[in-house]
Each structure stands twice: as structure tokens, then as C-alpha cells.
């Protein structure tokens, strides 16, 4: 373990004990630079327990990060050494850098949603980056015995859930996000088992709750999820079917207040029944 890394761990542990406040003479930018350098550290104690948690605490203290610092952070986080570091690779430690870069991007998006500070070009860059990441990330592992959480599908969903609520968000964006969710559910590689379906369901639940799209359009999208059930049985369609089935179940129970017999209620129940092979009864 090099001296810089060890000192960062020690400093962040001390900052945690001191309620995330800096001491006199310490500069926030110095810590941010090092946190970005080690954001994908293969050891979860530094990456997850310290850097990720410190970002969260600092973002939710509105006096900690200035708009200038947020602009700088976004520029770095969305570059080829962070969010898109070795994008497309699988089963290697690069996923940690990507999956833990999207989390502070979600926090930046939340800040902009609540207190807009990005201009139009910056927002477009943010939108493009988040959508590109969710479409191009191929390493979908959840919890790794060596290294802890990767969880890229869940972390990316958190950013999308903030993105759909931004003041610039329009119907076209909502549909792009729905398409990205479908792509992740129908990924052809992995059946999700670490509650990624719940994190994706949060996005659609937010769309419904905030009336970001007409319910009929969401119902039509749900119906489209089920087309995989019509394909010949093989590994790819099975992954799509099981992921979509679990997603619809998560959404249904999340929407406990949904009107029974409504267009959404009908679409979710019909979709789940079509995807659920165990519900089929032979005469």
C-alpha cells in the first residue's frame, strides 16, 4: 500500500469521526483530487466505506461543494479515465472505477434537479454520459467475494432516476430511459440477483408518481418487455424473461396504491402472467 493511499484512508477515517468537517487549513479540492484518483480502488474499505460515503455526506451538506467544484467534478467523472474507463470490459477490476464514478454523478444530478446550475450544453453532456454508460456497461456483477460491491446496473439506475426528474427532462428522454432499462433487463448475460430490479423499478415508479409520461405509454412499454417470451427457448430469452418478470413484480408491489383495473395495473399483471412460465396450466 503506497503512502498516498494510506494517508488518504487515514484522513478520510478521521474526517468521518469528525462528522465530515475539514480542519482549519485543509482544502476540499485536495481531498477531491485524491478521492477521484482512488475512486475505483479494488479494496471496498477505501472505495465504498470511505470515498463513496464521504462524497454522499459532502453532497448533502449544501455548504461543502460550490458550483465551481461541481462543474470540475462532473468534467472528471465523465471522462475516459472514470465513467468510461475500459468501458465494455467484463470480469476485471475496471468495473469498480466505472460503477463508483456513476454514484457521485447521480448526486450531482440530484443537486441540479433541486438547485439547477448546469447550462444547456452541460446538461446535454450529463444526459448523454449517463445514458451512454447505462447502455455500454457490460460488467453486470453485483457483489464480488473479492472486492465487494460492483453493482453497476443498480448504481446506474440511481443516476437515471435523478435524470428523469431534472427540469430539462422531456418525453423523449423518458422514452430513452425506458429503452435503456429494457436493454439492461434483456442483457443476454446475467439474471440479476442483487435487487437491481428494485433500483430499476424506482425509475419507472418515479415516472408514474410524477406523471412524467402518460400511463398508456408506460403500459405500452411494459407490454413490449414481454416479447421475449415469444422467442424460442435459449439462454438469452430466458435471461430477458426472468429479469423482466422480476422487474414487473417489483414495480407492482411498489405501486401498492395503484388503482386496480387501471391501464397500468392491467399491463403489469398481464405482462407478469405472460413472462411467468409457471403460471401456465396445461389442460
User: What tens digit of pLDDT does each residue of 110-124 get?
Assistant: 999 999 999 999 999
Domain that holds residue 181: 170-283
- 221 and 256: one domain? yes
Q: What is this structure's pTM?
A: 0.96
pLDDT at residue 236 tops 90:
yes
Domain count for the chain, please give it: 2
Judged on CB neighbours under 10 Å (0-12, 13-18, 19+), 258 is: middle
Q: 258 falls in which pLDDT band (50, 70, 90)?
A: low
- 154 and 191: one domain? no
- 10 and 45: one domain? yes
pLDDT at residue 280 tops 90:
no
Domain closes at, from 148, 166, 184: 166
- 162 and 174: one domain? no
- 26 and 162: one domain? yes
- 5 and 142: one domain? yes
- 31 and 158: one domain? yes
Per the CB < 8 A criterion, the answer to whether 272 and 238 are in contact is no
- pLDDT at position 283 is 43
Between CA 61 and CA 39 the distance in angstroms is 20
- Digit-coded pLDDT (tens) for 45-60: 999 999 999 999 999 9
What's the mean pLDDT in 24-48?
97
Between CA 267 and CA 208 the distance in angstroms is 13
- 146 and 191: one domain? no
Domain closes at, from 141, 166, 191: 166
What's the mean pLDDT in 241-250?
98
Between CA 133 and CA 88 the distance in angstroms is 10
Amino acid at each position: 500500500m503506497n503512502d498516498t493511499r494510506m494517508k488518504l484512508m487515514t484522513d478520510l477515517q478521521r474526517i468521518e469521526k469528525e462528522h465530515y468537517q475539514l480542519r482549519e487549513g485543509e482544502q476540499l479540492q485536495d481531498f477531491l483530487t485524491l478521492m477521484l484518483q482512488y475512486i475505483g480502488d479494488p479494496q471496498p474499505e477505501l472505495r465504498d466505506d470511505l470515498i463513496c460515503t464521504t462524497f454522499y455526506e459532502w453532497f448533502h451538506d449544501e455548504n461543502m461543494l460550490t458550483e465551481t467544484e461541481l462543474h470540475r467534478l462532473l468534467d472528471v467523472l465523465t471522462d475516459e479515465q472514470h465513467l468510461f474507463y475500459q468501458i465494455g470490459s467484463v470480469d476485471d477490476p475496471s468495473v469498480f472505477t466505472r460503477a463508483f464514478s456513476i454514484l457521485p454523478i447521480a448526486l450531482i444530478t440530484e443537486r441540479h434537479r433541486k438547485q439547477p446550475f448546469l447550462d444547456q450544453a452541460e446538461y446535454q453532456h450529463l444526459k448523454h454520459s449517463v445514458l451512454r454508460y447505462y447502455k455500454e456497461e457490460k460488467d453486470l456483477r453485483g457483489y464480488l467475494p473479492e472486492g465487494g460491491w460492483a453493482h453497476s446496473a443498480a448504481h446506474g439506475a440511481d443516476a437515471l432516476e435523478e435524470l428523469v426528474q431534472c427540469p430539462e427532462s422531456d418525453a423523449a428522454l423518458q422514452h430513452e430511459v425506458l429503452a435503456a432499462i429494457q436493454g439492461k433487463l434483456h442483457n443476454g448475460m446475467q439474471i440479476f440477483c442483487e435487487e437491481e430490479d428494485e433500483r430499476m423499478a424506482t425509475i419507472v415508479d418515479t415516472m408514474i408518481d410524477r406523471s412524467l409520461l402518460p400511463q398508456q405509454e408506460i403500459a405500452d412499454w411494459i407490454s413490449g418487455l414481454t416479447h421475449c417470451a415469444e422467442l424460442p427457448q435459449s439462454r438469452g430469452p430466458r435471461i430477458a424473461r426472468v429479469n423482466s418478470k422480476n422487474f414487473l413484480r417489483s414495480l407492482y408491489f411498489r405501486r401498492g396504491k395503484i388503482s386496480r383495473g387501471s391501464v397500468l395495473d392491467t399491463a403489469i399483471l398481464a405482462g407478469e402472467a405472460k413472462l411467468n412460465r409457471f403460471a401456465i396450466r396445461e389442460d
